[in-house]
Structure 1
Amino acid sequence: MKNLIIIASLLLTAPIMAQTKVVKKNAVKANNFGITYSLPKTSLVIDAEVTKVTCKAGPYYKYAEKYLGVKDAVTEDKVYYELGKISLINKGLPDADNTYVVEFKPGTVAPYAYLTEEGLLCSINAEYTPEESELEVIKKKKPISDKVEDTSVFSEELLMAGSTAKQAEVAAKQIYRIRESRMNILTGEADNLPPDGEAMKLVIQQLEAQEKALTNLFTGILTKETEHYEVNIIPNDDLEKEVLFRFSNQLGIVDADDLGGVPVYMNLKAIERAPALDPKEAEKKEKALKGIVYNIPGKASIEILMNNKSLYKGEAQIAQFGSREGLAPVMFEDKKAPVKVFFYPETGAIKQIIQ
């Protein structure tokens, strides 16, 4: 299997992803002045925003245009789904095949490193504060819900009206009376004005709630609930028309093998890749790696499509397409000015060297 695909379920009640935690590791005599860490392999996290729209028709929808001039009233109860923004985040996973021990000489001044909880290298001889990832920002957004409660606003006159047509006429008159009352209060022409600003604000809010509830009897109610769906891919080669999941307007996101939905594809092509080495060259290079081993990631162009329409297009750094290099141990032996190195834990690449 060239590429590992992990499908995650809809994130309905899942807790918000905790921000990356880091751990400080000191190189001391007890651990032979060595700190164990792992280089990452790239996992691409595809996040799809899905909105569930629930439509509930009002009892007077047939009269919405006649009395209120509304032409797009909900005419039937139904549920459908909309596929929204597609995001792609680069996430690093510890590579068990690339775990190293960075060894400092006993004379080095207070050497230490920051690692993620999973053991990915963040910094050496420098304080490290993790940044909030795009994925964490996305998941912190509160689910969108446009639900409006259809509170009871049936007046005696409305209840006494015999037919639905007559009820619609009475309800429309109530709406216009509410609008007139609100306008009179705002312009100061009402007979009994609220005593102060706070009271006026409260009265206006109540009038608007009544108007909204009555209007819903004509226009209907639309409820929107936004959810997130994730797919994780660990690419080891190019991808062409890899099915991430399928989408249905009636069912939302369904599994990749469920023919009830339209496939959402990913195309991934390496645009920067380290040259392939034969086994002897690879073994020779591995033996030559000394000091702090880090990644020089490759790069890939990525496009996600549905119905030949591009939903996402961009580039990502891929550790698996790159190579590994080493920082010489002598860099860390200066007692007066110890070198500080910052890394990208997602890719294992060097971010900054401060001397």
Structure 2
Amino acid sequence: MRNIVILSALAALLAGCVTSSRILVTPLGTGPEDAEKTYVYALPQTILKVEVTCQEVRSVPGPYWEYAEKFLGIGEVIRQPSSSWDILDVEISHHTEADPGHLYSLHLLNGTFREEMLDRFRQKGMLLDGTEMVKASIAGPGLVSNRKSDYLRYVDLGVEENFEERTETMYKTLVTDTSFVRVPVDRTIVEQKTIARKAEEAAEFILLIRSSRFEMLSGEYKVFPQGEAMAAAIDRLDRLEDSYLSLFTGKNLRTVYRRSYFLVPEQGAVSSDYRLGMFSGQLGFVPAGLMEGVPLEVRITPEGKTAGIEKLNARVTEEYHYNQLYYRIPDVVDLKVVLGDRLLKQERISLFQAGALVAHPLD
């Protein structure tokens, strides 16, 4: 350790002998007034973008669900309307912006200074000149998703008419001179079919579809479709059967939503938790005051890999007051996105805010 201190002091002495310039770097607004020139630079900070993809599944019973087992032998059907939510995916990206808490002025007190000396730091993203343009966007929750608004409507309830005719016999009494005579009279009544009758017709049509498809596949048709016509016919029959089966089994509508968040981690090497919102398995994203759901959080834990560098630099910076450049070495952090106790995503990324502030001699 003593040898390191001696070598550091020797390097400082040599640097002072070689350079003819005197430069002082201070936080912006605190520099000397007698500087010949002043340059401004900023340290970068890491901005996180968290994109959450979730799905809502809405289940709606069919109009004939009560007759599914009677006419088709299907017992597992949707009986009540319901809604369920789940998170499908989490994507994490990041970009850098100028850190407003780390703006510095480089003051040339005497001698010369070439701004190109900072290029190697800029190329590595260690310094920013503050004029960089940032463009990052997220989609708001109010935008339309891929929901099919009319998918849950049942408009095709069968191929038969909604009304049926029936004949009933009634008796009309005729009065004669000597007696009363009851004469039968037939009349036709048109009435709306019952739900049970319409369900029976729909079930018969499903069986007809299956029979037609079997005959087509087994070659029993007199005119047998060929090539693409065969595939198109089978596909159409499949979709038609699914449509009529949903009258008994119900429908599930899956809608995908995406929510994005910008997150600016705090300065320092301590662990931090950031709540993105509350998520419910029945309602999706809900307001915090609703007392429903579990928190969706981002947990950041720095690994402290730059802690030793910062301690060593703290001893050196007092000796190198002039002709030194301040920058920050990012630290690696363990980043987790959790929903309650459920881990959704885990990544290791470099975070400038968790890193060490060090000084580099200007040569």
Q: Report the TM-score when normalising by structure 1.
A: 0.61
Is 1:170–2:191 an aligned residue pair? no
Correspondence for 1:199: 229
Per the alignment, in what secondary structure is the counterpart of residue 177 of structure 1?
helix
Deviation at 1:149, TM superposition (A): 6.6
Per the alignment, in what secondary structure is the counterpart of residue 296 of structure 2?
strand
Deviations 1:186-218 (A, max 9, x none): 332213333x43333333333223212111101
Q: Which moved more, 1:252-261 or 1:58-67?
A: 252-261
Deviations 1:216-241 (A, max 9, x none): 10111111111111232222243455
Correspondence for 2:337: 304
Q: Distance in 2 between matches of 1:321 and 1:44?
A: 13
Q: Confirm or deny: 8 A CA contact 1:144 1:224 kept in the other structure.
A: no
Structure 1 residue ranges without an equivalent (≥5): 1-34, 122-132, 137-141, 331-355
Q: Distance in 1 between matches of 2:320 and 2:260?
A: 37
Correspondence for 2:301: 269
Q: Confirm or deny: 8 A CA contact 2:271 2:302 kept in the other structure.
A: no
What is the letter of the counterpart of residue 243 of structure 2? Answer: A
Match 1:230 to one of 253, 257, 260: 260
Closer/same/farther in 2, CA of residues 240 and 114 from structure 1, 3 Å limit: closer
Correspondence for 2:280: 248
Q: Confirm or deny: 8 A CA contact 1:40 1:120 kept in the other structure.
A: no
What is the letter of the counterpart of residue 77 of structure 1? Answer: P
The structure with more radius of gyration: 2
Q: What are the equivalent positions in structure 2 for 1:111-150 lying under 5 Å apart?
A: 147=151, 150=154
Correspondence for 1:322: 355
Deviation at 1:58, TM superposition (A): 0.5
Q: Confirm or deny: 8 A CA contact 2:329 2:355 kept in the other structure.
A: yes
Closer/same/farther in 2, CA of residues 95 and 176 from structure 1, 3 Å limit: same
Correspondence for 1:353: none
Match 1:104 to one of 113, 116, 141: 116
Deviation at 1:179, TM superposition (A): 1.7
Match 2:59 to one of 52, 55, 58: 55
Correspondence for 2:156: 152
Per the alignment, in what secondary structure is the counterpart of residue 272 of structure 1?
coil
Q: Distance in 1 between matches of 2:116 and 2:344?
A: 48
Closer/same/farther in 2, CA of residues 247 and 302 from structure 1, 3 Å limit: same
Q: Confirm or deny: 8 A CA contact 1:37 1:119 kept in the other structure.
A: no
Match 2:245 to one of 215, 222, 232: 215
Deviation at 1:298, TM superposition (A): 0.3
Correspondence for 1:85: 89
Q: Confirm or deny: 8 A CA contact 1:239 1:266 kept in the other structure.
A: no
Q: Confirm or deny: 8 A CA contact 1:38 1:120 kept in the other structure.
A: no
Q: Distance in 2 between matches of 1:190 and 1:285?
A: 94
Closer/same/farther in 2, CA of residues 182 and 241 from structure 1, 3 Å limit: same
Correspondence for 2:215: 184
Q: Distance in 2 between matches of 1:95 and 1:272?
A: 21
Q: Confirm or deny: 8 A CA contact 1:158 1:171 kept in the other structure.
A: no
Q: Distance in 2 between matches of 1:162 and 1:151?
A: 16
Correspondence for 1:334: none
Q: Report the TM-score when normalising by structure 2.
A: 0.60
Q: Identity over aligned residues, as a percent?
A: 24
Q: Confirm or deny: 8 A CA contact 2:68 2:249 kept in the other structure.
A: yes
Q: Confirm or deny: 8 A CA contact 1:247 1:262 kept in the other structure.
A: yes
What is the letter of the counterpart of residue 229 of structure 1? Answer: R
Deviations 1:264-292 (A, max 9, x none): 233322113533569896677785545xx
Q: Distance in 2 between matches of 1:114 and 1:267?
A: 27
Deviation at 1:143, TM superposition (A): 6.0
Q: Confirm or deny: 8 A CA contact 1:268 1:302 kept in the other structure.
A: yes
Is 1:259–2:291 an aligned residue pair? yes
Closer/same/farther in 2, CA of residues 83 and 72 from structure 1, 3 Å limit: farther
Is 1:44–2:22 an aligned residue pair? no
Q: Confirm or deny: 8 A CA contact 1:289 1:325 kept in the other structure.
A: no
What is the letter of the counterpart of residue 216 of structure 2? Answer: I
What is the letter of the counterpart of residue 60 of structure 1? Answer: Y
Q: Distance in 1 between matches of 2:258 and 2:236?
A: 35
Per the alignment, in what secondary structure is the counterpart of residue 295 of structure 2?
strand
Per the alignment, in what secondary structure is the counterpart of residue 74 of structure 1?
coil
Q: Distance in 2 between matches of 1:148 and 1:286?
A: 72
Deviations 1:221-262 (A, max 9, x none): 111111111232222243455432101233311244542332
Structure 2 residue ranges without an equivalent (≥5): 1-38, 107-113, 139-143, 165-191
Closer/same/farther in 2, CA of residues 253 and 285 from structure 1, 3 Å limit: farther
What is the letter of the counterpart of residue 155 of structure 1? Answer: V
Q: What are the equivalent positions in structure 2 for 1:278-297 lying under 5 Å apart?
A: 288-289=323-324, 295-297=328-330
Deviation at 1:53, TM superposition (A): 2.0
